[in-house]
């Protein structure tokens, strides 16, 4: 089983991603670190604790990380998409667990130093602030990461939070730039593959009806997201971006990737947060950019795994 860390800002699709990982025997979720993003850090941390408790895994440690981006404060968060408290208006029962006393970067470094180099997968599904800090504060630990599977960016689809930028890249472009240039083995799971991967209402009904209490709660968390997707993008169903990144972390090779150099726009203009994917020959370290996906298979994987909570 691959040791796994999820770095997250729950977030509706973050919650789904955590539940997917916990239902997957291929990976062993050993740590959740939280970051600012969809909502404020205190709320993402509380949500992470509650999602783990919902899944019956309050033993997984949750360590809180950065409360804001590295350099420039954010003008807005994403409460309009995820609900003011981040989980689509659903109030999950409080967890008996408390937050780990260590800062996220310390918890991450401890875990990485306790494993053989190259064995741990880190799946950041929010702004990359914590991972950028890890690179700066504990470079030796960061170098031991096996794979970084990041949900963020966009190669060809423009943005979702602005015309140019995907939310996680936009929410800390300086951090994204540091991580994408770090030389770590990064896979960028961007809007190119997430947007076509739509979880339909029929799929949601399947795990609502067969996935026990967890499946029913997951369907409830998604309800507001379904409405938001219909209003904003005219999609019937939802795009659970972060769950697709986790699918790639759980089953490497789910997505077809190409090695590319990626530059993040860190200027303060209209392009801020845009991921510029270079289509010329790779000259730098390069990252694996996810370019195509079997969306039907990915959605089926998610629905089956969430349904398995009922058995
Ligand atoms: C990303 O932004 C957040 O709102 C989602 O949780 C996901 O990580 C999609 O652009
Ligand atoms: Ca997220």
Measured from the Cα of 82, ligand 1's closest atom is 4
* CA angle 264–268–273, rounded 5-degree value: 30
Q: Return the residue matching tokens 């895994």.
A: 57
151 close to ligand 1 (CB < 6 Angstrom)? yes
Phi-psi region of 28 (alpha: psi -120 to 50; beta: other; left: phi over 0): beta
Catalytic annotation on 241? yes
Q: Taking the C-alpha atoms of 22, 246, 43 and 114 in order, what is their torsion angle to the nearest 10 degrees?
A: 70
**Looking at ligand 1, which residue's alpha carbon is closest to its atom 2?**
167
- What separation in angstroms does the CA of 133 have from each of 93, 130, 145, 222, 294? 32, 5, 14, 31, 34
Residue 122 predicted with pLDDT over 90:
yes
Q: Higher-confidence residue: 147 or 229?
A: 147
User: Which DSSP state fits 95?
Assistant: P
DSSP 2-38: EEEEEEE---HHHHHHHHHHHT-TTEEEEEEEE-SSS
Of 113, 115, 114, 172, residue with least CA distance to 137? 113
Q: What is the pLDDT of residue 189?
A: 99
Over residues 228-237, the mean pLDDT reads 81
Separation of 266 CA from ligand 1 center, angstroms?
19
pLDDT at 269: 96
* pLDDT tops 90 at residue 239: yes
pLDDT at 163: 97
Supply the pLDDT for residue 176.
98
For residue 77, the model assigns a pLDDT of 80
Instruction: List the beta bridge partners of residue 290.
Output: 257
DSSP character for 147? E
Q: How far apart are the C-alpha atoms of 260 and 156, rounded to whole Å?
A: 13
**The tokens of 8 are what?**
């997250």
Return the percentage of the chain with pLDDT > 70, whole number.
Answer: 100
CA of 31 to the centre of ligand 1 (A): 20
pLDDT interval class at 258 (50, 70, 90): very high
**pLDDT of the residue at 232:** 79
**Spatial separation of the C-alpha atoms in residues 302 and 199, rounded to whole Å:** 9
pLDDT at residue 227, as a whole number: 83
Kindly state the average pLDDT of the residues 109-123: 99
Q: What is the ipTM of this complex?
A: 0.99
- Expressed in angstroms and rounded, the spacing between residue 75 Cα and the centre of ligand 1 is 16
The fraction of the chain above a pLDDT of 90, given in percent, is 91
pLDDT digits (tens, 9 = 90+) for 51-80: 999 999 999 999 999 999 999 998 888 878
Q: How far is CA 192 from the centre of its chain?
A: 15
Annotated catalytic residue: which of 36, 53, 82, 241? 241
pLDDT at 76: 80
Check residue 78 and give its pLDDT: 81
**Protein residues placing their CB within 5 Å of the ion ligand 2:** 9, 11, 14, 125-126, 242
Residue 233 has pLDDT above 80, yes or no: no
The reply to whether ligand 1 has any atom less than 6 angstroms from the CB of 47 is: no
Residue 17 and residue 250: Cα distance in Å, rounded?
Answer: 11
Distance 114 CA to ligand 1 centre (A): 30
The ligand 1 atom nearest the CA atom of 126: 8
Yes or no: say if 133 and 233 are a contact pair by the CB < 8 Å rule.
Answer: no
Tell me the average pLDDT across 156-165: 96
**Number of Cβ within a 10 Å radius of residue 235:** 17
Nearest CA to ligand 1 atom 4: 38
Average pLDDT of every residue of the chain: 96
Q: Residue range 239-254: average pLDDT?
A: 98
Average of per-residue pLDDT across 111-125? 98
- pLDDT at site 164: 98
Q: What are 195-210's pLDDT values in tens digits?
A: 999 999 999 999 999 9
Angle between helices 212-233 and 201-210 (to 10 degrees): 160
pLDDT at 141 over 80: yes
């Amino acid at each position: 089983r691959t040791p796994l860390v999820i770095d997250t800002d729950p977030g509706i699709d973050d919650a789904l991603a955590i539940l997917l990982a916990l239902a997957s025997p291929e990976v062993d979720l050993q740590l959740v670190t939280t970051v600012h993003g969809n909502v404020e850090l205190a709320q993402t941390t509380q949500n992470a604790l509650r999602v783990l408790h919902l899944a019956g895994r309050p033993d997984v440690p949750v360590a809180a990380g950065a409360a804001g981006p590295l350099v420039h404060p954010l003008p807005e968060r994403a409460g309009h998409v995820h609900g003011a408290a981040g989980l689509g208006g659903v109030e999950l029962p409080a967890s008996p667990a408390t937050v780990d006393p260590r800062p996220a970067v310390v918890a991450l470094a401890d875990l990485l130093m306790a494993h053989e180099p190259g064995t741990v997968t880190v799946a950041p599904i929010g702004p990359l602030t914590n991972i950028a800090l890890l690179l700066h504060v504990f470079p030796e630990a960061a170098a031991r990461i096996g794979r970084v599977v990041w949900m963020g960016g966009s190669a060809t689809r423009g943005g979702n939070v602005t015309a140019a930028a995907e939310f996680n890249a936009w929410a800390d472009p300086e951090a994204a730039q540091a991580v994408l240039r770090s030389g770590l083995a990064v896979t960028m799971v961007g809007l190119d593959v997430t947007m076509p991967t739509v979880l339909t209402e029929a799929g949601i009904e399947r795990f609502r009806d067969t996935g026990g209490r967890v499946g029913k709660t997951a369907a409830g968390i998604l309800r507001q997201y379904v409405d938001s997707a219909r209003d904003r993008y005219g999609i019937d169903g939802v795009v659970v971006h972060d769950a697709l990144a986790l699918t790639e972390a759980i089953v490497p090779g789910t997505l077809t990737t190409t090695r590319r150099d990626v530059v993040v726009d860190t200027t303060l203009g209209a392009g801020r947060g845009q991921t510029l994917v270079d289509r010329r020959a790779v000259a730098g370290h390069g990252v694996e950019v996810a370019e195509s996906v079997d969306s039907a298979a990915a959605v089926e994987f998610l629905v089956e795994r969430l349904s398995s909570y009922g058995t």
